[in-house]
């Protein structure tokens, strides 16, 4: 096998390296900087140039090599290269070739161009390891333009009603993607410390983001009456929010497609937006690889692999410790 599924993670015997391992190993190949994929304690890391700054920011002083997309690295008896996954800036699928057989571990991915991340690039392979976070036909994402219109419409309405719009977003990827969709003509954009820290890392590596105002003492409803506020989901409803006076709250996540989740979150608005592929996206991506074998990791693994089998793939389930089935955990870490 080109890749094997072990207790420590996805293992390549030919290279003696692991992809996104969840236990400490000597050599780790990392698809992207989210905490369920890039974990501390590895002997050495290899990641894309664009993923590295966030990983350093989060993991501190680690031994890391970086690579541009598409460059072949000979490690042991394997040829290894990284290809855009479209998930967040710097995210990659990892292509592993051993004796002419090609496997691709996709990490997390989405297939639409979010205007921020390097767009997903299909890679031909014999076997494809896919996620299935949203692997059911109920998940169908609206177009990015529709999303932008809804978000700005909500913000403008809030501003007209004298309320602050407070949006819960994940700090890496989702926040910056949404920043680029916002219309600064409506008002100022305020950011929670966790979001702003990631903004800084991404700006420093050359990504262009609109101007943001970090929320510090003195930044409040009075100083910025027409503001939209971007904060991690955990900050919504906390004492931190009091300074904004009258607010309308929103969440931005793929899970917001479901009315039950929207209601449980008790936010005023739910915006359906995800950095994972929806049902159509997953099926399209898998077809593009030309793979005969498909391994399904986190998400709706049983349902999705059953579906793939019916479509003629040799499909199986792989147990992983990536941000899995737990919706609330998933909301915080990966959606």
Partner 1 sequence: MKDFAALFTALDQTTKTSVKTAALADYFASAPEDDKIWTIALLSGRRPRRAITTTKLREWAAEHAGIPLWLFEACYPVVGDLSETIALVLPEPQSRVEKSLSAWIATLRGLDNAEDDVRKATILEAWDGLPPIERFVFNKLITGGWRMGVSQKLMTRALAKATGIEEAELTHRLMGDWSPDSVSWESLIEAPDPTADLSRPYPFYLAYQLEQESHELGDVSDWLAERKWDGIRGQLILRGGERYLWSRGEELMTDRFPEFAQLIDFLPSGTVIDGEVLAYDRAAEAPLSFNKLQPRIGRKTVPKKLLTEAPCILMAYDLLEWQGADLRQTPLADRRSILEEAIAALPPVLPLRISPRVAADDWDGLAQARAISREIGAEGLMLKRLNAPYLAGRKKGDWWKWKVDPLTIDAVMIYAQAGSGRRATLYTDFTFAVWNGNDLVPFTKAYSGLTDAEFREITAWVRKNTTDRFGPVRQVTPHHVFEIAFEGIQASPRHKSGVALRFPRMARWRKDKPLQEANTLDDLNQMLAQYG
Binding site for partner 1 (CB under 8 A): 136-140, 257-264, 266, 268-269, 300, 303, 306-307, 310, 325-329
Nearer to partner 1, 139 or 322 (CB): 139
Query: Token pair of 102, please?
Result: 């090609």
State the nearest-atom distance from the C-beta of 139 to partner 1, in Å.
Answer: 8
Closer residue to partner 1 in complex, CB, 117/305: 305
Rounded Cα distance, 63 and 65, in Å: 7
Nearer to partner 1, 66 or 303 (CB): 303
Give the number of other Cβ atoms within 10 Å of residue 302's Cβ. 12
Rg (CA), the chain: 20
Nearer to partner 1, 295 or 304 (CB): 304
Burial of residue 99, with CB atoms counted within 10 A of its CB: 0-12 exposed, 13-18 middle, 19 or more buried: exposed
d(CA 163, CA 128): 47
Instruction: Work out how close the CB of 290 gets to partner 1 at its nearest, in angstroms, rounded to a whole number.
Output: 23
288: DSSP letter: H
Q: Which is nearer to partner 1, 39 or 257 (CB)?
A: 257
Comparison of 100 and 260: residue with beta carbon closer to partner 1: 260
Please, what is the angle between helix 52-59 and helix 193-204, to 10°?
Answer: 140
Query: Considering the complex, what minimum distance in angstroms separates the CB of residue 326 from partner 1?
Result: 6
**Rounded CA separation 311/42 (Å):** 38
* Distance of closest approach, residue 332 Cβ to partner 1, in angstroms: 11
CB of 288 to partner 1, least distance (A): 20
Burial class of residue 284 (count of CB atoms within 10 Å of its CB; 0-12, 13-18, 19+): middle
Q: 77 vs 140, which CB is nearer to partner 1? A: 140
Q: How many CB atoms lie within 10 A of CB 248?
A: 18
Q: Which is nearer to partner 1, 93 or 283 (CB)?
A: 283
Which residues sit opposite 270 in a β-bridge?
A: 251
Strand, helix or coil for residue 237: coil
Tokens of 140: 């169908």
Least Å distance, CB 306 to partner 1, is: 8
CB of 319 to partner 1, least distance (A): 13
Q: Least distance (Å) from partner 1 to the CB of residue 106?
A: 22
Contact predicate 19/4, CB 8 Å: no
**Residues 199/209, Cβ–Cβ less than 8 Å:** yes
- Using CB atoms within 10 A of its CB, is residue 299 exposed (0-12), middle (13-18) or buried (19+)? buried
């Amino acid at each position: 096998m080109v890749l094997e599924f072990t207790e420590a993670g996805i293992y390549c015997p030919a290279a003696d390296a692991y992809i996104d391992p969840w236990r400490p190993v000597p050599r780790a190949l990392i698809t992207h900087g989210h905490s369920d994929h890039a974990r501390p304690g590895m002997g050495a890391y290899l990641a894309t140039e664009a993923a590295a700054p966030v990983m350093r920011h989060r993991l501190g002083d680690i031994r890391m090599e970086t690579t541009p997309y598409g460059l072949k690295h000979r490690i042991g008896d394997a040829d290894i290269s990284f290809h855009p996954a479209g998930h967040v800036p710097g995210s990659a699928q990892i292509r592993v070739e051993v004796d002419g057989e090609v496997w691709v571990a996709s990490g997390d991915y989405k297939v639409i161009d979010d205007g921020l991340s390097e767009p997903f690039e299909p890679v031909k392979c014999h076997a494809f390891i896919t996620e299935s976070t949203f692997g059911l036909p109920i998940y169908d994402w609206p177009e990015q333009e529709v999303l932008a219109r809804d978000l700005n419409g909500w913000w403008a309405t809030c501003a007209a009603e004298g309320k602050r719009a407070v949006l819960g977003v994940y700090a890496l990827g989702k926040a910056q993607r949404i920043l680029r969709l916002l219309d600064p003509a409506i008002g100022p954009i305020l950011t929670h410390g966790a979001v702003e820290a990631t903004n800084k890392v991404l700006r420093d590596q050359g990504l262009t983001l609109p101007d943001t105002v970090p929320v510090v003492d003195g930044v409040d409803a009075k100083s910025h009456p027409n503001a939209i506020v971007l904060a991690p989901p955990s900050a919504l409803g906390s004492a931190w929010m009091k300074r904004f006076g009258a607010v309308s709250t929103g969440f931005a996540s793929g899970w917001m497609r479901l009315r039950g989740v929207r209601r449980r979150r008790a936010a005023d608005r739910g915006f359906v937006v995800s950095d994972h592929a929806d049902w159509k996206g997953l099926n399209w991506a898998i077809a593009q690889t030309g793979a005969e074998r498909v391994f399904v990791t986190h998400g709706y693994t049983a349902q999705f692999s059953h579906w793939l089998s019916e479509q003629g793939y040799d499909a199986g389930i792989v147990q992983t410790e990536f941000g899995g089935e737990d919706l609330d955990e998933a909301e915080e870490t990966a959606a």
